Amino acid sequence: MHKFSLLDLSPIPEGKTAADAFDNTVTLARAAEAAGYHRYWLAEHHNMPGIASAATSVVIGHVASATKTIRVGAGGIMLPNHAPLIIAEQFGTLETLYPGRIDLGLGRAPGTDMGTARALRRNLSGEDNFPQDVQELISYFQNTGSPVQAVPGAGTNVPVWVLGSSLYGAQLAAFLGLPYAFASHFAPVQLTEALSIYRSTFQPSATLAKPYAMIAAGVCASDTDAEANFLRSSQLLAFARLRTGKPGKLPLPVDDISAEVPENVLRQVNQALSCSATGSPETVKEQLTSLVAEHQPDELMITGMIHDPAARVHSFEIAAKILSEMIG
């Protein structure tokens, strides 16, 4: 592991608004920059009452304007929701405004429910144009002499990542010679196999000479194990509600999560969120050390949904200290 980074979904806590979420995101981004995080990514989700980053490129611009050096990007843009040219123009604009600081991670999931996917005018024919769309988008960042150009965008060479939670993205990233980020923070089942496929089938490109893999993990750190487990209950409860078709704002933490969530649902939630570290600094260090040793990522991206924004900043500051020591 050479670097560590942060994924923020701009959560909207119960009792708060999207405006509060954006304020919290700026506060966290500034703290992340001061703590040594390499990049700060936001993600595209739609029709989610508890996530404020739907207009992802706009929020990226807001965060970039509020910080000075940290890389800011999308983790990710769900490309089938958009025309590649529009995304090239948006991120070409961001790169022009904030040179050398913008990343573009691309996913192929809807980032929402099917009704909202239809409202986004997403192509629901079943035809998969994602590989072609990724290549088209990358071409707009280059000076190809094409009659159709992204302005701004052409010549900016914004770094493009392939995101995935299955083997598909690993195969595509390897084929195109692009960096790869695996969404193990909520879908860890195929992590080991995906990394193996990516590394073993990687084809060097003008972008990358050798594979570069990032994995994501949840982190909830506090001064004690008990406090960290209490704070993490908000994320478990939110994920359980999402899984059972009742998405909402990020709930307040609870003392006994098992009293709030049926046993079978809680088992599924714990499995989905198992690529994580929760506890005191000592506990989190032990868990992150084990995770990095097992998967040997080039970069670790951490995320965490905590209702209290100050406790969230504290959690990421604890994690940064641990990860800085691990890198040495």
Domains and CATH numbers, the chain: 3-327 (3.20.20.30)
Percent of the chain with pLDDT over 90: 91
Q: Does residue 264 or residue 146 have the better pLDDT? A: 264
Backbone angles phi, psi at 190, to 5 degrees: -100, 15
Instruction: Using only the alpha carbons of the chain, give its radius of gyration.
Output: 19
Residue 177 in this model has a pLDDT that exceeds 70 = yes
For 25-72, what is each residue's pLDDT tens digit? 999 999 999 999 999 999 999 999 999 999 999 999 999 999 999 999
- In the three-class reduction of DSSP (H, G, I as helix; E, B as strand; rest coil), residue 126 is classed as coil
Q: Do 45 and 113 form a contact (C-beta atoms < 8 A)?
A: no
DSSP string, 57-120: HHHHHHHHHH-SSSEEEEEEEEGGGS-HHHHHHHHHHHHHHSTT-EEEEEE-S-SS-HHHHHHT
For residue 126, what pLDDT band results from cuts at 50, 70 and 90? low
Residue 175 in this model has a pLDDT that exceeds 70 = yes
